[in-house]
Amino acid sequence: MKAIVYQEYGPAEVLRHTDVDRPAAGDGEVLVRVRAASINHGDLAVMHGSPGILRLAFGLRRPKKTILGRAVAGTVEAVGPKVTGLQVGDEVFGEMNQRGFAEYVAAPEAHLAPKPAEVTFEQAATLPVAATTALQALRLGGAGPGRTVLVNGASGGVGTFAVQLAKTLGAEVTGVCSTRNADLARSIGAHHVIDYTREDLTRGAGRFDVIVDLVGNHQLSGFRRVLAPKGVYVSSSGAGGALLGPLPRLLAAAVTTPFLSQKLRGLVARRSAEDLTLLAGLVAEGKITPVIERTFPLSETADAIRFLEAEHARGKIVLTV
């Protein structure tokens, strides 16, 4: 089968579209014929091997797992022993432990959710990682009816889901993005838009019950200025130094928050088939719509990643297989 393989850390040039052995479904696993996969910023971090702390898990000098890709959608091709809920031909989607940028991937049954017929493979592939992160961030912040929510990074992959989900939850939503993306933010449900090229969100007069920070481009003290007295700040950003990445910010939030009426929290998003089922249902009902800026064939994954890094894509970039 064809897959996107890399043997060393680096830019998109380290990727190769090449032949590898097709995996087999082990105990409790199914073999998925991949129809679509989405690119997430975590894929870029693992490709670059940066921040350096990631290499403790993914390989110090070179990657342990040589096929990228975590978010996929496709059709069950085969089932392994002890699989009870899925069968050949089922349309599914879910979050992998890498190896998703390939024609086939073996995945635990528990990591997959059924894809509704009303949801395309391309749409379903955007939900793992990005939409689950947005949903879990809003839950952690306590977003809901009558609450004011600020989404910093409203036009990105996670941000476009966060804006829509916050509105669906009944919150009043303010999106932060660039001038070129302001209309997009409004079109997906933002009641207000802050153009970061023209104003500093931390110097505004507004106070927000929930801040979902997907960018990490301001100090915690700045976010606290626009956070309500009993508001919740949720950080879900990879921004930070070359070695530790966002870890210092997360540690600072954890150390500071016990002494404040405000809550400063770092999100570690978790894989959840239940959340995926919920999100797919919202897409099927038309309550949220994945924003897909471009699709690329699997063979052009390197070009897709260059585009994502250069253009700061609106919403998601999807690979079709």
Buried b (16+ CB within 10 A) or exposed e, 34-47: bbbbbbbbbbbebb
DSSP string, 118-143: TS-HHHHHTIIIIIHHHHHHHHHHT-
State the pLDDT at residue 238.
Answer: 72
Q: Is residue 282 part of a domain?
A: no
Please check whether residue 265 is in contact with residue 223, taking contact to mean a CB–CB distance below 8 angstroms.
no
State the pLDDT at residue 312.
Answer: 74
**pTM of the predicted model, to two decimals?**
0.94
Q: Is residue 272 part of a domain?
A: no
Distance CA 140, CA 130 (A): 15
Count of structural domains within the chain: 2
Per-residue pLDDT of the chain (321 residues; tens, 9 = 90+): 999 999 999 999 999 999 999 999 999 999 999 999 999 999 999 999 988 877 888 888 999 999 999 999 999 999 999 999 999 999 999 999 899 999 999 999 999 999 999 999 999 999 999 999 999 999 999 999 999 999 999 999 999 999 999 999 999 999 999 999 999 999 999 999 999 999 999 998 789 999 999 998 999 999 999 999 999 999 998 776 677 667 767 677 677 777 678 999 999 899 999 999 999 999 999 999 999 999 999 999 999 999 999 877 789 999 999
Same domain, 196 and 147: yes
* 3-state helix/strand/coil string of 248-284: HHHHHHHHHHHHCCCEEEECCCCCCHHHHHHHHHHHH
Same domain, 10 and 119: yes
- State the residue range of the domain holding 219: 129-266
CATH number of the domain enclosing 191? 3.40.50.720
Distance CA 261, CA 276 (A): 33
Same domain, 147 and 235: yes
Same domain, 119 and 223: no
